[in-house]
Amino acid sequence: MSTIAHADHDHHDHKPTGIKRWLFSTNHKDIGTMYLVFSLIMFFVGGSMAMIIRAELFQPGLQFVDPQFYNSMVTVHALVMIFGAVMPAGVGLANWMIPIMIGAPDMALPRMNNMSFWIMPFAFALLLGTLFMEGGGPASGWTMYPPLVLQTGKAFPYLIFAVHFLGISSIMGSINIIATVFNMRAPGMTLMRLPLFVWTWVITAFLLIASMPVLAGAVTMLLTDKYFGTSFFNAAGGGDPVLFQHIFWFFGHPEVYILALPAFGIISQIIPTFARKPLFGYASMVYATASIAILSFFVWGHHMFTVGLPITGELFFMYMTMLIAVPTGVKVFNWVATMWKGAMTFEAPMLFSIAFVILFTIGGFSGLMLGITPVDFQYHNTYFVVAHFHYVLLTGAVFALMASVYYWIPKWTGNMYDEKLAKIHFWLSTIFANILFFPQHFLGLAGMPRRIPDYSVQFTDFNMISSLGGFGYGISQLLFVYIVIKCVLGGKKATSQVWEGGRGLEWTLSSPPPYHSFTTPPKVTKTLMDY
């Protein structure tokens, strides 16, 4: 254990308590905790909307909700899961782990850190509040295409401002991460020694800074179109509704990688730990991540193959999309090569990581299918798309987040989690997630459209199976909450090392780490990650 981790330094220094500790927090660990708790709450808010959707789709015909409310469930489920659950979870992990991994005392801009967190509850109060308004919540899909979105009632300005606030929050978070990694590294922590999780987050932060303003611009234009007489997207005034789709997906595709890259980073931390081998191809992982990020700005047209792009445009976007498979393939190869001949054990973080590699790759393959222009003409707007992005985002991003919680929660709380329950949680999640989403491929290929509360009778069987998987998945996540609470309250004490194969600065600090992570900068040598 490191000598810098003496807890007795803590009481020399003012440590706020009670509500003030959280409200005015400038401590990266406390803010990280708030992000993670917020994300978990939003995961259940978004999840309960998914339960309503699956209940309605259990049988053909209209059972529980009217179509307008169904559409707003589809819309708000997506917004809550993307901006409220997955992104804040990533930022929470970044807050907790980046200073610890690079040997810094805290984040670079702690007060801005506080602001970027506290903006979010307000933004979601605006967004979720619309569900109780006259006319209901936004129901145009999370993509907010005009002219449909302009028919939104009273909820419209709340939706737009919520998106603005979330954009500001994540841009501030990104600035903080970039400044921290570039300015606050311990001596000897060169860029090419950064843990992969830190690398993927730096690249994600640049993606956010480049793409969030574009989304903010697009929704500002929607706002002025509706209330101030402009015609950016109004054909009658000389505008073009398809322009919105171009702008939105110029943001939207990088957004996919904003959700996925931190997940790649998490997996690249966990697999070496439990294979007890250094990560295979470290440098190629960094370059692959950067290539994915750059390419992600040149593929937006694959969401718009059916709007009638020029044939050269369709071919360009198709080939660029195929190109992303190369760096992604490099990553999957490196993960498998890291496990090759490793001394592997299968604790919950490793199980989730292995499931991630397999299931994310399934989502990647269905993405390649959708990226082929003529094939997309058939799949576009069907349940095949829904199956694809849920493999990428649920069995991909969310599984990586689950893995990261099991991996780092002993460090956060000082207690080991219940491994037996965690394994049960893993198997229930994996089995039910596949029952939930795999049949949706078949529904899509058979032609069932997405965002529709009713369907023809021939789709009934697969929808019933899918709904049962959905309910099972939803209920199994309560087990996760139980495991987390149990771990926070007590359990077997964790050592500072926690995992036998753990390498890196985070494992040199006590569990839980002292209030100010590194009070004197550690010296990093190139043997830090050796086995």
Among all residues, which ones are annotated catalytic? 77, 106, 142, 169-170, 253, 255, 257, 268, 302-303, 328, 331, 450
Q: 518 is in the binding site of which of another protein, Cu ion, none (Cβ under 5 to 8 A by kind)? A: another protein
Structure-token pair, residue 168: 């500001």
380 makes contact with Cu ion (CB under 5 A): no
Residue 133 or 307 with smaller CB distance to Cu ion: 307
Is residue 181 within 8 Å of 198, Cβ to Cβ?
Answer: yes
Q: Which residue is nearest to Cu ion (CB)?
A: 253
Residue list 393-432, contact with Cu ion (CB under 5 A):
none
Residue list 95-134, contact with Cu ion (CB under 5 A):
none
Is residue 106 within 8 Å of 99, Cβ to Cβ?
Answer: yes
* Least gap, CB of 478 to another protein (angstroms): 39
Q: Name, in order, each residue with C-beta under 8 angstroms of 275's C-beta and a sequence gap of 6 or more.
A: 338, 339, 342, 343, 344, 501
Q: Which stretch binds Cu ion (CB under 5 A): 11-19, 246-254, 453-461, 503-511?
A: 246-254
Residue of 305, 303, 226, 271 whose CA lies nearest to 499: 271
* Least gap, CB of 17 to another protein (angstroms): 17
* Least gap, CB of 439 to another protein (angstroms): 40
Is residue 448 within 8 Å of 461, Cβ to Cβ?
Answer: no
Q: 105 is in the binding site of which of Cu ion, another protein, none (Cβ under 5 to 8 A by kind)? A: another protein
Q: 109 is in the binding site of which of another protein, Cu ion, none (Cβ under 5 to 8 A by kind)? A: another protein
Residue 384 or 515 with smaller CB distance to another protein: 515
Q: 158 is in the binding site of which of another protein, Cu ion, none (Cβ under 5 to 8 A by kind)? A: none
Supply the DSSP symbol for 138: -
Residue 323 or 446 with smaller CB distance to Cu ion: 323
Distance CA(138)–CA(397), nearest Å, equals 25
- Provide long-range contacts, Cβ within 8 A and 24+ apart, for 524-530: 524/103, 524/186, 524/187, 524/188, 524/189, 524/193, 525/188, 526/193, 528/193, 528/503, 528/504, 529/193, 529/272, 529/278, 529/279, 529/503, 529/504, 530/278, 530/503
What distances in angstroms separate CA 272 from CA 201, 330, 347, 416, 519, one per listed residue?
Answer: 18, 16, 13, 20, 28
Is residue 146 within 8 Å of 241, Cβ to Cβ?
Answer: yes
Q: Which stretch binds Cu ion (CB under 5 A): 88-96, 161-169, 250-258, 457-465?
A: 250-258
Integer Rg of the chain from CA: 23
Residue of 394, 317, 320 whose CA lies nearest to 362: 394
Is residue 270 within 8 Å of 353, Cβ to Cβ?
Answer: yes
253 makes contact with Cu ion (CB under 5 A): yes
Is residue 182 within 8 Å of 190, Cβ to Cβ?
Answer: no
Distance CA(137)–CA(72), nearest Å, equals 6
- Specify whether the backbone of 274 is left (phi greater than 0), alpha (psi in -120 to 50) or beta: alpha
Is residue 408 within 8 Å of 512, Cβ to Cβ?
Answer: no
Per the DSSP assignment, residues forming a β-bridge with 493 are 415
* Least gap, CB of 220 to another protein (angstroms): 6
Residue 238 or 310 with smaller CB distance to another protein: 238
Q: 171 is in the binding site of which of another protein, Cu ion, none (Cβ under 5 to 8 A by kind)? A: another protein
- DSSP SS3 for 493: strand
* Least gap, CB of 376 to Cu ion (angstroms): 11
- Binding map of Cu ion across residues 476-495, x = CB under 5 A, - = no contact: --------------------
* Least gap, CB of 461 to another protein (angstroms): 47
Residue 229 or 374 with smaller CB distance to another protein: 229
Q: 448 is in the binding site of which of another protein, Cu ion, none (Cβ under 5 to 8 A by kind)? A: none
- DSSP SS3 for 402: helix
Q: 319 is in the binding site of which of Cu ion, another protein, none (Cβ under 5 to 8 A by kind)? A: none
Residue 109 or 270 with smaller CB distance to another protein: 109
Residue 96 or 300 with smaller CB distance to Cu ion: 300
* Least gap, CB of 164 to another protein (angstroms): 10
Per the DSSP assignment, residues forming a β-bridge with 449 are 382
* Least gap, CB of 414 to another protein (angstroms): 20
Residues that bind another protein (CB under 8 A): 9, 12-13, 105, 108-109, 112, 171, 174-176, 178-179, 182-184, 209-210, 212-214, 216-218, 220-221, 232, 238, 243, 247, 516, 518-521
Residue 406 or 518 with smaller CB distance to another protein: 518
Q: 221 is in the binding site of which of Cu ion, another protein, none (Cβ under 5 to 8 A by kind)? A: another protein
* Least gap, CB of 109 to another protein (angstroms): 6
Residue 170 or 413 with smaller CB distance to another protein: 170
Is residue 384 within 8 Å of 370, Cβ to Cβ?
Answer: yes
388 makes contact with Cu ion (CB under 5 A): no
Residue of 214, 287, 290, 221 whose CA lies nearest to 255: 214
Q: 253 is in the binding site of which of another protein, Cu ion, none (Cβ under 5 to 8 A by kind)? A: Cu ion
- DSSP SS3 for 415: strand
Report the interface residues with Cu ion, using CB under 5 A: 253
